[in-house]
Structure 1
Amino acid sequence: MASLVIPGQPLSAQGPSAQLAPGPGTFSRGGQVYAALVGQVSREGGVLSVKGKEETQAIPEPNATVIGTVTRITRQAATLSLLTVDGRPCRPDFTGIIRAQDVRQTAKDSVKIWSCYRPGDVVRAKVISLGDSRSYFLSTAANSLGVLFAVSSTTGEPLEAVSWEEMRDVTTDEREPRKVAGPE
């Protein structure tokens, strides 16, 4: 098995999920195994792993494109655990913050973080500054930036993009607001 995956992509479709365990470069949530790195999938026995395209780990710098998982939401910002920097894996202790004013290019004053991101969403963002000692400041104020992958808050099923501000559950047709990333 040698397919290219991105962070947050479900891997259980590669085989029966009940018998698969997460290995290096993967994580498990809700009984599903997901990729944590950009790289090639391999399966040895009942263990799925992802080997990154490059073994060197990247460090976020201004103007770098990052992919991360939303870990926390407040009224003013979303906190991400960064997974990749410009397509290369990074250390798991890098975090980024998307402030409300950095979500969109227009209508910045009316942004509600909860209607743009939810915990567990996989987001593509741009590093705008080094921030403080704990986090990088990130922006999704471009059409190609925003939520790449999300699951329904009610069913746990993957959502698909409907527009730049909405995703839907394909099984129930229920729609949820998000700041959706367009194609690069």
Structure 2
Amino acid sequence: MATPARYCVPGERLCSTEEATAGSGTYTRHGFIFSSLAGCLEKTSEESGLPIVSVVRDSDPQLLPDVGAVVTCKVCSINSRFAKVHILYIGSTPLKSTFRGTIRKEDIRATEKDKVEVYKSFRPGDIVLAKVISLGDSQSNYLLSTAENELGVVAARSEAGMQMVPVSWCEMQCPRTHTKEFRKVARVQPEFLQT
């Protein structure tokens, strides 16, 4: 059984090689075991022999959106030129912290780009599948596209608060009021469906 203990920094002397065996995240030198990374010290008792001393990182490194990655995002705001979104998932992996993204008017559809109207494609609160087309930095957002048929709105709520149902590639309908609203609807592929 592993017992988590104190926090260690790289190069910190943990114990002598007579007291324990070096595990992952450690190294030995001159009869002592040292930490090779920052993390929590763990001692695992072995039935035969000395306990194993390991250093485990606190958390996995943050996953970052990459060009070509399909991301799931939530629309925060819209105007006549673009929709602002928060990226929540990369593929099916949830992110620890959200990233900001922008879907420009010209990146919403592959055809008739000049006729696209942002408010007829997205509304704040919509959940959208999009593809990363350009990386952001600390000052700007990731540029996203929904131009492919498989990309676009996958979940939306009507003004009555109901989960809407897609009725075509450009409309969703409220099951309670039967009111239709314009959206850039995604033709969702099975691998993107969350169970």
Band the TM-score falls in, shorter-chain normalisation: 0.5 to 0.7
Task: Tell me which of 94, 116, 131 is aligned to 1:111.
Answer: 116
Kept in 1, the 8 Å contact 2:74–2:126? The answer is: yes
SS class of match (1:92)? strand
The aligned counterpart of 1:83 is 88
TM-score, normalised with respect to structure 2: 0.63
Q: Distance in 1 between matches of 2:62 and 2:94?
A: 5
Aligned counterparts of 1:61 and 1:96: Cα–Cα separation in 2: 12
Q: How many residues align?
A: 129
Where in structure 2 are the equivalents of 1:13-24 lying within 5 Å? none
Task: Supply the distance in 2 between the matched residues of 1:80 and 1:157 (Cα, whole angstroms).
Answer: 21
Query: Out of 151, 162, 166, which is 1:157 matched to?
Result: 162
CA offset at residue 134 of structure 1? 2.6
| Amino acid in structure 1 at the alignment position of 2:102 | I
For the residue of structure 1 that corresponds to 2:166, the secondary structure is strand
> Is contact 2:108-2:146 (8 Å) kept?
yes
Percent identical: 43
Match of 2:100 in 1: 95
State the alpha-carbon separation in 1 of the partners of residues 124 and 135 from structure 2: 23
Q: Cα offset for 1:172?
A: 1.1
Rg comparison, structure with higher value: 2
Counterparts of 1:158 and 1:135, CA distance in 2: 28
Q: Indicate the larger mover: 108-117 or 90-99.
A: 90-99
**3-state secondary structure, aligned to 1:114:** helix
Report how far residue 183 of structure 1 moved: 2.3
- Choose which of 160, 167, 170 in structure 1 pairs with 2:172: 167
Provide the TM-score with structure 1 as the length reference.
0.67
* Superposed displacement of residue 101, structure 1: 0.2
Q: Are positions 1:123 and 2:128 aligned together?
A: yes
Inter-CA distance 159–81: structure 2 relative to 1 (3 Å threshold): same
**Which of the residues 136, 140, 143 maps onto 1:137?**
143
Mapped partners of 1:127, 1:174: distance in 2 = 32
Return 5+ residue gaps in structure 1 as ranges.
1-54
Question: Hey, what's the Cα distance between the residues in 2 that align with 1:162 and 1:74?
Answer: 25
